[in-house]
Structure 1
Amino acid sequence: MSEVLGGVRTYTGVERAAVLMMLVGDEEAAAILQKLDPEEVRQLGKAMFAVADVSEAEVEDVLDDFVGHAKQRTAIGFDPRPKIEGMMTKALGPDKADSVLARITPPEAACQLDMLDWLDGPEIAALIEEEHPQVAALIIANLDPGVAAQVLEILPEAIQPDILHRIAKLGPITPEAVETLNAMLSARAGKGGGTSTAAVQLGGTKEAAKIMQSARKATEARVMPKLHKIDKDVAKAIEEAMFVFDNLLDLDEKSLGTLIRNVDSDTLVRSLKGVDDAVRNRFLGCMSSRAADGIRDEMESRGPMRLSEVLDAQKAVIAIARGLAKDGTIVMGAGDDDYV
């Protein structure tokens, strides 16, 4: 936030950039904006409104600062691709130039569905609500998990389990498919489409799990049982990815104590074998001193244990925790939206 020093405001970095943007022509400003990420455009646009009343002295201060920083630079970066492509085309002709450029142009980063960065959850949901569930799955899988969960919840409840299942089963997406999706989104939003040159990896059970973790608990409680009916293995894989043993540390003292009382000692001993001291002490701290000492003695007497045995025991504890949470006996990470 800008401050007033000696009668002249001092601006933050983004506000200085906003002042400079207000000084250049519309075409130059547009060219600069095209190089920025969506969030940068939003921040810069907001700052431009904030500095609309900039004084002449403040403009001079900003320009002096800009010139000073510019002098410190040894070079100014730019995208060389258009210039090189133009030179090659003029020298060799289109066909030969394309052949040479195909061999010398550095590979681009994996493409994304660029239009999605400029839209919020409800807008994305409106664009895809009448599309085939596979198309919706491809698009939602490309979103940040929080936005993806929002879009999924806006779509009709009847298709949510199917879309989540399709997200979990996604894999490599061809460049042609990505380009088609980009064109579809751009056409729906009334904007020019971009181009795609690389395949991308989308979805998977971990991505589906992240979306469910970001969704409201009511959504999870409604969608996951239906997904079990569609594909039990996929649903189980998503649930396992959603919740790992360390997540149990988020339980409050009362809930963790209740969980421990519902786990037999043999399973508890095996589940705590190999975890770090902080995790073990968190569990044992919810037990009586006598019971905790008994668990410690049992762990020491058993000696080395196979990792597979430990993981199976931890999965069993997690399953018990989820069952207790489902019954309302304990509370596991409920989102804010579930409370009124």
Structure 2
Amino acid sequence: MSNGRMSGPQKAAALILALGDEHSTMLLSRLHEDEIRDLSQAMASLGAVEATTVEALCQEFAERLGAAGSLVGSYDTTERMLMRSLPKDRVNQIMEEIRGPAGRTMWEKLGNVSEAVLANYLKNEYPQTVAVVLSKVKPDHAARVLALLPESFAMEVVMRMLRMENVQKEALEGVERTLKMEFMSNLARSSRRDSHEVMAEIFNNLDRQAETRIMGALEERNRDSADRIRGLMFTFDDLQRLDAAGIQVLLRAVEKERLIVALKGASQDLKDLFLKNMSERAGKMLRDDIAALGPVRLKDVDEAQAAIVVAAKDLAAQGQIKLTEGRDEMVA
């Protein structure tokens, strides 16, 4: 990187690195937190700086550093230097900000939070706070969040956004601190999923032969884990948890051809559950179609049943149907 292509923060970052720990510590201790954050961001992304560039920077700042040699700005050197002048928790916070996924800012990180989760959090905040947040995230994401807020509350937010001018720096920093401390930290904790839940989802996507083989091996090694995973899995047979209204919603969402293949390999109880929630004419046609289908590969049945399970989960996530939790609550 040449001197001519470097921004002001990058030049300052290079000089801080060139000065060494002792002198840089004295300088950093005299800077404002915002300046330290900007400087840290520049240092962490600086990369290699040639010796000739360092010498040119020294001349520009009227300082003679001697043979400084080449420099490499990295997360490690930045963190090590900050640790000499700031409390550890503050250093961790700064490094988390600049290191966070691809060095994204708080507002960019919010773009990866689903609108449902973000709206659920914001609906309990002051309208002015929500207005600030929605003005900082991308418009399409803000629109989806706004649509999920209660109507009267959403209107309060809209009115404040319309009247909002430049947000004072202190107010913006306050909102950022609140989001980091309350929302993002809680989100990180809640995102730590139980390993058995993760494995249950993986098992749900295995074909029947692979599931039987791996589950059998797991039972020999750790029966408790196998039982727990089996209890968390949601299979085609678990559609018996649905009430009549849920079955009818699912029937409207599933392709007829896929349902025929899925029911071809299903238990009689499950076939009856679907058939009794159809009109007499539609039920008769479905029975005839299943009978006329002939032999079907087990793999095709598994794929059809898995697709219907995915559809049921999607409908449940949208609140259109309700799935009871746990196989011990299943009703035949």
TM bucket (normalised to shorter chain) is 0.3 to 0.5
Q: TM-score, normalised by structure 1?
A: 0.32
Q: TM-score, normalised by structure 2?
A: 0.32
